[in-house]
């Protein structure tokens, strides 16, 4: 079992940059320090071991591992807050930041050996299937410790960190809700409309056909065939996750069924994208997706004026495109048929508590409080910039409409107004299981390049090739 799991971990690590997730290009410095798949480049930027200790030296000592230093700092702040609220049950926490691959390998080795694991550890979503293999033999089920928050936590995000037994083994940092970003300033200028008139047109978009109509109106008014309304990705599968979420599909098959990428939802999205490429409505994203330096520049050059991405992408604007402040509007994603779910959770890092902890009840209680309570979610939003999972805060005026928050200042509208409009039940989930790295690697290295770089390539043939490759690994 050990050789099998270590091999799986290494394969996952190699494929991680091909996943969807929260951080393709960012460095750790305050951007979107969370991790998942496509976000791994950011987390891999952590190249040195950094150790910080926080809290009460006389309190119960806890060890925490992460691969993003800001995550550790979050726990440090929360430890101080915990101690203020629990003077009779204080903690001291040592947070150690390791390089991405080193930390996950070190954790898995310790879990298998039955010794050497920390009390608390971050686990990137693409690595989670390996770590949850041991279920409650390795990890502490968090159900009882999260129970006070579950009524208001986004179900799809909690379910991302479930085991086969249905228990929750990871506490999330964010929803990662996929939304549509629109450059209202560019559209207003090209279309000769006021900002409010453009926003009204965007808000009227319900379906992908509506989206096409708006895009074609913009492109006709612009009259520049070197510009596009959007771009499509060969290096990420976010668009396909949106399509699957809208139809309630999941190409992984979850825990119980075989993987199947030959889904009508996937075919419909790829077919639509091929038609966009042929008509000049869309281009292929420079370097494969919008979450790289070339993608940022493409946005700033107004080569595209709309695209879907998770809400953690807000930090890309503030950190890499600061001059775009005041230009962009956030809206719900279009759907194929009205009434479908209009978002999907992308990326993420689940924080686990190990069974090796000598203080696992305290560690689990603290972890859930630090990640799910109003105090914890406030700090996650203010410092990490993530769309929080506790929906009780989405409609809280002081939280959601705080004009001192950099994201509320940057965008035309309040991000949490969009989340509230979506609603937690309209955010879909695509499972991350052991076959996920194989699916993402093949789609991003082969399939998407075949059908998007050559819009006449047969989608059915490309997906059959992918299915054959995936079947060999199942």
* pLDDT value at residue 47: 61
Q: Are 82 and 91 in contact (CB under 8 A)?
A: yes
* pLDDT value at residue 17: 36
In a domain, 214, yes or no: yes
Q: Are 255 and 433 in contact (CB under 8 A)?
A: yes
Regarding whether 187 and 105 lie in a shared domain, the answer is no
| Average pLDDT of span 444-471 | 98
Regarding whether 117 and 13 lie in a shared domain, the answer is yes
For residues 54, 59, 65, 71, the Cα torsion angle rounded to the nearest 10 degrees is: -40
Say which range, 53-57, 132-136, 431-435, 459-463, has the weakest mean pLDDT. Answer: 132-136
Joined tokens for residue 138: 């390795």
| Average pLDDT of span 153-168 | 93
| Average pLDDT of span 258-269 | 98
* pLDDT value at residue 255: 87
Q: Are 171 and 161 in contact (CB under 8 A)?
A: yes
> Max CA-CA distance within the chain?
69
In a domain, 419, yes or no: no
Joined tokens for residue 231: 């771009």
* pLDDT value at residue 30: 30
User: pLDDT tens digit string along 167-226?
Assistant: 999 999 999 999 999 999 999 999 999 999 999 999 999 999 999 999 999 999 999 999
* pLDDT value at residue 136: 80
User: pLDDT tens digit string along 58-104?
Assistant: 999 999 999 999 999 999 999 999 999 999 999 999 999 999 999 99
Local confidence band at 40 (pLDDT 50, 70, 90 cut-offs): very low
Burial class (CB in 10 A: 0-12, 13-18, 19+), 112: middle
In a domain, 418, yes or no: no
Joined tokens for residue 428: 């879909």
In a domain, 261, yes or no: yes
Q: Are 376 and 24 in contact (CB under 8 A)?
A: no
In a domain, 425, yes or no: no
Regarding whether 312 and 204 lie in a shared domain, the answer is yes
**Length reported for the chain:** 474
Regarding whether 379 and 275 lie in a shared domain, the answer is no
Q: Which segments of 21-72 are extended strands (E)? A: 50-55, 60-66
Q: What is the mean pLDDT of the chain?
A: 90
For residues 443, 157, 429, 29, the Cα torsion angle rounded to the nearest 10 degrees is: -30
Q: Are 2 and 316 in contact (CB under 8 A)?
A: no
User: pLDDT tens digit string along 388-416?
Assistant: 999 999 999 999 999 999 999 999 999 99
Q: Which of 393, 418, 451 is the last residue of a domain?
A: 393
| Average pLDDT of span 273-302 | 97
- Looking up tokens 């203080």, which residue turns up? 359
Burial class (CB in 10 A: 0-12, 13-18, 19+), 413: middle
In a domain, 421, yes or no: no
Regarding whether 157 and 85 lie in a shared domain, the answer is yes
Regarding whether 229 and 259 lie in a shared domain, the answer is yes
DSSP structural state of residue 14: H
In a domain, 400, yes or no: no
* pLDDT value at residue 83: 98
Q: How many structural domains compose the chain? A: 2
CATH number of the CATH domain containing 90? 3.40.190.10
Joined tokens for residue 23: 């951080």
User: pLDDT tens digit string along 340-364?
Assistant: 999 999 989 999 999 999 999 999 9
- Rounded to whole angstroms, the Cα distance separating 160 from 164 reads 11
- Rounded to whole angstroms, the Cα distance separating 322 from 44 reads 24
- 198's enclosing H/E stretch is helix 195-203
- Rounded to whole angstroms, the Cα distance separating 342 from 427 reads 7
Regarding whether 378 and 251 lie in a shared domain, the answer is no
* pLDDT value at residue 328: 98
Joined tokens for residue 5: 């799991």
Regarding whether 47 and 103 lie in a shared domain, the answer is yes
List, as one string, the DSSP characters of 196-246.
HHHHHHHHT--BHHHHHHHHHHHHHHH--TT--SEEE-SS--HHHHHHHHH
- Of 244, 34, 259, the closest CA to residue 125 belongs to 34
List, as one string, the DSSP characters of 17-30.
GGS--S-SS--TTT
Regarding whether 240 and 334 lie in a shared domain, the answer is yes
Q: Taking the CA atoms of 276, 277, 283 and 289 in sequence, report the sign of the dihedral they define.
A: positive
Local confidence band at 14 (pLDDT 50, 70, 90 cut-offs): very low
User: pLDDT tens digit string along 133-157?
Assistant: 877 899 999 999 999 999 999 999 9
Regarding whether 295 and 211 lie in a shared domain, the answer is yes
Joined tokens for residue 151: 């009524």
Regarding whether 97 and 74 lie in a shared domain, the answer is yes
Local confidence band at 36 (pLDDT 50, 70, 90 cut-offs): very low
In a domain, 271, yes or no: yes
What is the residue range of 143's domain? 2-176+347-393
Regarding whether 171 and 194 lie in a shared domain, the answer is no
User: pLDDT tens digit string along 292-315?
Assistant: 999 999 999 999 999 999 999 999
* pLDDT value at residue 135: 76
């Amino acid at each position: 079992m050990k050789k099998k799991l270590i091999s799986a971990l290494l394969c996952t690590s190699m494929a991680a940059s091909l996943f969807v997730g929260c951080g393709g290009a960012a460095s750790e410095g305050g951007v979107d320090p969370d991790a998942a798949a496509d976000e791994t480049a950011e987390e891999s930027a952590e190249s040195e071991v950094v150790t910080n200790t926080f809290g009460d030296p006389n309190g119960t000592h806890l060890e925490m591992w992460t691969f993003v230093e800001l995550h550790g700092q979050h726990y440090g702040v929360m430890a101080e807050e915990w101690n203020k609220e629990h003077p009779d049950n204080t903690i001291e926490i040592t947070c150690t930041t390791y390089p991405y691959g080193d930390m996950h390998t070190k954790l898995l080795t310790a879990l298998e050996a039955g010794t050497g694991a920390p009390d608390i550890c971050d686990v990137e979503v693409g690595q989670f299937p390996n770590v949850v293999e041991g279920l409650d033999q390795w990890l502490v089920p968090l159900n009882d410790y999260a129970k006070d928050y579950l009524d208001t936590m986004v179900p799809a995000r909690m379910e991302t960190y479930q085991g086969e037994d249905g228990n929750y083994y990871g506490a999330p940092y964010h929803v990662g809700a996929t939304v549509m970003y629109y450059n209202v300033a560019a559209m207003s200028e090209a279309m000769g409309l006021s900002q409010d008139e453009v926003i009204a047109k965007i808000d009227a978009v319900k379906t992908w056909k509506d989206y096409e109509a708006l895009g074609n109106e913009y492109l006709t008014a612009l009259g520049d065939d070197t510009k596009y309304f959007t771009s499509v990705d060969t290096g990420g599968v976010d668009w396909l996750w949106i399509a699957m979420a809208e139809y309630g599909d999941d190409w992984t098959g979850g825990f119980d069924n075989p993987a199947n990428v030959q889904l009508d939802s996937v075919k419909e999205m790829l077919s639509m994208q091929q038609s966009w490429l042929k008509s000049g409505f869309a281009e292929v994203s420079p370097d494969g997706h919008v979450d790289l330096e070339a993608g940022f520049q493409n946005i700033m050059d107004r080569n595209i004026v709309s695209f879907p991405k998770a809400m953690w992408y807000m930090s890309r604007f503030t950190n890499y495109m600061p001059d775009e402040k005041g230009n962009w509007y956030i809206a719900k994603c279009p759907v194929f048929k009205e009434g479908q779910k209009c978002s999907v959770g992308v990326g993420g890092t689940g924080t686990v508590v190990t069974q090796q902890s000598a203080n696992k009840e305290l560690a689990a209680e603290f972890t859930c409080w630090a990640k799910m309570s109003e105090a914890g979610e406030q700090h996650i939003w203010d410092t990490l910039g993530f769309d929080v999972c506790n929906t009780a805060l989405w409609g809280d005026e002081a939280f959601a409409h705080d004009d001192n928050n950099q994201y509320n200042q940057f965008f035309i509208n309040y991000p949490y107004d969009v989340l509230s409009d979506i609603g937690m039940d309209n955010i879909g989930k695509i499972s991350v299981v052991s076959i996920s790295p194989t699916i993402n690697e093949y789609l991003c290295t082969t399939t998407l390049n075949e059908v998007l770089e050559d819009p006449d390539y047969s989608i059915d043939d490309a997906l059959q090739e992918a299915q054959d490759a995936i079947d060999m690994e199942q």
